[in-house]
């Protein structure tokens, strides 16, 4: 038995959002370490609405570890459309769940935040110590600030109660099983869907928001899940920790790459009336490497190929 397997042996683990995109990969990473189905609690919103205090109490009861991944999320468009909903849902889920876990005597709480918590004009690469140096990018600030309150709560609870809670900051994720709904998807699935549909229909153009100058960093979802599980096993500190690949790409170059991988050879039309979002995003990932040995393993092009292949298979009857 490895040290990782030994950590999880006999522990009861609640994974909120465990049936979602990232959560399903976290559950798989746990299962690879020998965690059995009867050790896992995977609440679903229909029966365990974490905006309700009684649901939070029910989910954490008897658990040794809580990994909080549940969130109301989406791309720039739906963040602009529903800022109040994104703020309320994420704040209430996180704050109540951590308090319920503290009251229930949970041994470890893993809070997963978002890169949207960083200030709009953070120096690149984003270092954890810069997280309080300004206001987040406006289009997703309500979501980012709601998630950032988990860092405040985590540190406050450690200081007052000795509660073992950690806070992780993943960069933009992508991979198979992502959300491809154009109304709420993030940039990679949205672009893959547009390009594949354009190829199928013979459309001469694909329209993309912004001017292509913004940059992003992306982390393959299975790598992110491994980072979260490693942190759960090995890290017990109060400082926030970035999870990313450390690689930055412009949206313009991203569109060019996805067009090539999907076989779209038409014209890209930039809708500059739409926002770019945060000007640049790239994380300093040295803290995760130092504290719990996390390094992203999947190259960006390989990850994109797997995502495109999965999406194509999902379209087959």
Instruction: Please report the DSSP string for 260-304 in residue order.
Output: HHHT--SEEEEETTS---SS---B--HHHHHHH-----S-HHHHH
Residue 6: count of CB within 10 angstroms of its CB: 12
DSSP code at position 142: H
| Ordered domains of the chain (ranges, CATH) | 3-174+219-246+282-297 (3.40.50.720)
Helices and strands (DSSP H and E) totals, the chain? 11, 11
Residue 104, burial from CB neighbour count under 10 angstroms (0-12, 13-18, 19+) = middle
State if pTM tops 0.85: yes
Please state, in angstroms and rounded to a whole number, the distance separating the CA atoms of residues 65 and 157: 16
How many residues does the structure list for the chain?
317
- What confidence score (pLDDT) does residue 77 get? 79
- Residue 311 falls in the annotated catalytic set: no
201 has a pLDDT exceeding 70: yes
Let me know: does 270 contact 213? Beta carbons within 8 Å.
Answer: no
Let me know: does 60 contact 14? Beta carbons within 8 Å.
Answer: yes
pLDDT category, 78, cuts 50, 70, 90?
confident
- What confidence score (pLDDT) does residue 175 get? 98
- What are 98-108's pLDDT values in tens digits? 999 999 999 99
The three-class DSSP label of residue 215 is strand
Which residues, in sequence order, are CB contacts of 17 under 8 Å at separation 6+? 23, 68, 69, 70, 71
- Catalytic one of 143, 157, 174, 311: 143
The answer to which of 67-76, 98-107, 139-148, 197-206 has the lowest mean pLDDT is: 67-76
Question: What token pair was written down for 127?
Answer: 């270092």
- What confidence score (pLDDT) does residue 256 get? 97
The rounded percent of the chain whose pLDDT value lies above 90 is: 89
| Buried residues in 120-142 as b, exposed as e (16+ CB within 10 A) | bebebbbbbebbeeeebbebbbb
Let me know: does 44 contact 69? Beta carbons within 8 Å.
Answer: no
1 has a pLDDT exceeding 70: no
The three-class DSSP label of residue 259 is helix
Tell me the average pLDDT of the chain: 95
Residue 153: count of CB within 10 angstroms of its CB: 20
Select from 150, 189, 153 the least CA-distant residue to 170.
150
- What confidence score (pLDDT) does residue 79 get? 76
- What confidence score (pLDDT) does residue 182 get? 86
């Amino acid at each position: 038995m490895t040290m990782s397997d030994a950590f999880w042996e006999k522990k009861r683990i609640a994974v909120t959002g465990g049936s979602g995109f990232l959560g399903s990969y976290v559950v798989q990473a746990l299962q690879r370490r020998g965690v059995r189905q009867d050790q896992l609690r995977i609440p679903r919103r229909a029966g365990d609405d974490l905006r309700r205090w009684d649901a939070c109490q029910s989910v954490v009861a008897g658990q040794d570890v809580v990994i909080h991944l549940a969130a109301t999320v989406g791309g720039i468009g739906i963040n602009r459309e529903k800022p109040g909903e994104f703020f309320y849902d994420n704040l209430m889920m996180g704050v109540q769940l951590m308090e319920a876990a503290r009251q229930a005597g949970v041994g470890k709480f893993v809070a997963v935040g978002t890169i949207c918590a960083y200030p709009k004009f953070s120096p690149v690469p984003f270092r954890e110590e810069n997280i309080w140096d300004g206001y987040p990018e406006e289009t997703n600030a309500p979501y980012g600030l709601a998630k950032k309150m988990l860092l405040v709560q985590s540190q406050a609870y450690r200081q007052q109660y000795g509660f073992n809670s950690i806070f992780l900051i993943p960069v933009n994720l992508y991979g198979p099983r992502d959300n491809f709904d154009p109304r709420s998807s993030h940039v990679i699935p949205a672009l893959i869907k547009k390009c594949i549909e354009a190829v199928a229909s013979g459309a001469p153009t694909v329209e993309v928001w912004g001017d292509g100058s913004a940059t992003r960093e992306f982390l393959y979802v299975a790598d992110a899940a491994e980072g979260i599980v490693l942190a759960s096993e090995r890290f017990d500190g109060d400082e926030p920790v970035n999870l990313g690949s450390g690689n930055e790409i412009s949206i313009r170059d991203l569109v060019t790459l996805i067009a090539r991988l999907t076989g779209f050879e038409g014209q890209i039309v930039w809708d500059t009336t739409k926002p770019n979002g945060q000007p640049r995003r790239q994380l300093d990932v040295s803290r995760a490497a130092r504290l719990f040995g996390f390094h992203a393993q999947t190259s960006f092009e390989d990850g994109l190929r797997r995502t495109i292949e999965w999406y194509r298979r999902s379209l087959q009857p």
